[in-house]
Amino acid sequence: MAISTTTNRIKRFIRHYGTVVGAVLIFAVFALSSPYFFTIENFLLILKQMSMLAIVSLGFSFVMAAGGFDMSIGYAMGLANVILASTLNTTSNLIVAIGAALGVGLGVGFINGLLVAYLHLPDFIATFAVGSITFGAKMLYSGGHPIFLHNPSSIFLAMGQGYAGPIPMPAIIMLVILVIAVLVLHRTKFGRHIYAIGGNPMAALYAGINVRRNRFYTFLISGLSVGVTSIVLTSRLGSGQPQAGENFLLDAISACFLSTTMFGEGEPTGSGVFVGAFIITMLNNGLTMLNVPYQMQFITKGVVVILAVLLSVLLGRRIQIRLL
CA torsion 311-33-35-307 (nearest 10°) is -10
Q: Is residue 16 part of a domain?
A: no
Tell me the residue range of the domain where 256 lies: 27-314
The 3-state DSSP class for residue 239 equals strand
Q: Is residue 319 part of a domain?
A: no
pLDDT for the residue numbered 296: 81
Total number of domains in the chain:
1
pLDDT for the residue numbered 323: 46
Q: Is residue 15 part of a domain?
A: no
What does each C-alpha distance from 164 to 98, 160, 161, 167 come to in angstroms? 21, 12, 10, 5
Q: Is residue 78 part of a domain?
A: yes
Q: Is residue 238 part of a domain?
A: yes
Q: How many CB atoms lie within 10 A of CB 159?
A: 20
Q: Is residue 322 part of a domain?
A: no
Q: Is residue 168 part of a domain?
A: yes
CA torsion 189-309-252-13 (nearest 10°) is 60
Q: Where are the alpha helices (DSSP H) in 143-210?
A: 154-161, 169-187, 189-199, 201-206
pLDDT for the residue numbered 11: 66
How far from each other are the two terminal CA atoms of the chain, in whole angstroms?
44
Dump strand ranges (E) for 8-162.
Answer: 147-148
Q: Is residue 1 part of a domain?
A: no
pLDDT for the residue numbered 300: 81
Write out the chain's pLDDT in tens, 324 residues.
556 677 667 666 666 666 777 788 888 989 999 889 999 999 999 999 999 999 999 999 999 999 999 999 999 999 999 999 999 999 999 999 999 999 999 999 999 999 999 999 999 999 999 999 999 999 999 998 999 999 888 999 999 999 999 999 999 999 999 999 999 999 999 999 999 999 899 999 999 999 999 999 999 999 999 999 999 999 999 999 988 888 898 889 888 888 877 655 567 888 889 988 999 999 989 998 988 887 887 888 788 777 766 766 665 555 555 544
> What count of residues does the chain have?
324
The 3-state DSSP class for residue 66 equals coil
